[in-house]
Amino acid sequence: MPDYALELSNLSRHFYLKNGAFKEPTLLKAVDGISLRIRPGETLGLVGESGCGKSTLAKMILGLLEPTDGDVLVNDKVRGASSRLAMARQLQPIFQDPYSSLNPRKTIEKIIRLPLQLHKVGDSNSQRKAVKEISDLVGLPERLLKQYPGQLSGGQRQRVAIARALILRPSILVCDEPTSALDVSVQAQILNLLMDLKKELNLTYLFISHNLGVVEHLVDRVAVMYRGKLVEQGTREEIFHHAKHPYTQALLSSVLTPDPALGVPEVLDSSSWDKAS
């Protein structure tokens, strides 16, 4: 058992934004020195407003984007040290948009089977059996396997994405807003499914969301991100009931409005928590 399933040490990613041909590019620190640790079997919720760098962070963890600085450690090993294939067997993503995460020209069966083929696991018979098993596990009816993604609903598509992510039996899932593209009623189903799978397969989750309400019932710990930095992290209890940082409090009040009169949160004065962090 590794000490940490996922460890980020001082992870940064900077972008240079071009401002036309004659102006100096401006520096955007999309992710700015983030250190985080997730224990095996733990679920960490990463929350923050839109554009604060959550997806950029996820992409670096998945190896889709090179960090400007810092390291990603998966099961105590530096990401760059092992091959992509080896990484893929430990860590898999669930993306936000189930409409773009499935190749429209492939059948569902081919999509779910692709990881086994790329990793040369078993022969075609055992692969097909594995596809059926995993579809069963994520609640995907077998008759859908012959269909194309365009013929499935959003919730069904997200189940396909989950099946594809799990078929290699990775221990860690990085979920980047896995439900925000779905109908509210479907959201709950997918979240419940993710929680059931976690128990059944003993998974570690990094669960990214801009919505504190979504993560409240799933996570063990919460990390709050603001403008590329972590401003606060703690257990669910600590964050939801004893948030210290003003930004966390503002985020909370925007989701959990106990007093309906408060309604929409006021326009936030960002300078106050910039100083605090």
Partner 1 sequence: MSNLTLTANSSITSLPAVPEWRRIMNRFLGHRGLMIGSVILAVIILAALFAPWLAPHDPYVQNVSQRMIPPIWHDKGTWNHILGTDKLGRDYLSRLLYGARISLTIGISAAVISGLIGTTLGVLAGYFGGRVDAVISYIITTRLALPVVLVALAMASLVGGSLQTVIVLLGLLLWDRFAVVARSTTQQLRDAEFIASAKVLGASTPYILIRELLPNILSALIVVMTLEMAHAILLEAALSFLGIGVQPPSPSWGLMVAEGKSYMFFQPWVIAIPGVALMVLVLAINLVGDGLRDMNAPEGRS
Ligand X SMILES: Nc1ncnc2c1ncn2[C@@H]1O[C@H](COP(=O)(O)OP(=O)(O)OP(=O)(O)O)[C@@H](O)[C@H]1O
Binding residues (CB under 8 A) for partner 1: these are 59, 62-64, 83-85, 87-88, 91-93, 95-97, 99-106, 114-115, 118-119, 143, 146-153, 156, 161, 164
| CB within 8 Å of 260: residues ≥ 6 apart | none
- Contact call for residue 55 and Mg ion (CB under 5 A): yes
Candidates 52-60, 112-120, 125-133, 265-273; binding stretch for ligand X (CB under 6 A): 52-60
CB of residue 15 to partner 1, shortest distance in Å: 14
CB of residue 90 to partner 1, shortest distance in Å: 11
Considering the complex, state which of residue 13 and residue 113 has its C-beta at the smaller distance from ligand X: 13
- Contact call for residue 56 and ligand X (CB under 6 A): yes
- Contact call for residue 15 and ligand X (CB under 6 A): yes
- Contact call for residue 144 and ligand X (CB under 6 A): no
- Contact call for residue 53 and ligand X (CB under 6 A): yes
Candidates 51-59, 132-140, 141-149, 196-204; binding stretch for Mg ion (CB under 5 A): 51-59
Site for Mg ion, rule CB under 5 A: 55
Site for ligand X, rule CB under 6 A: 15, 17, 28, 30, 48, 50-56, 210
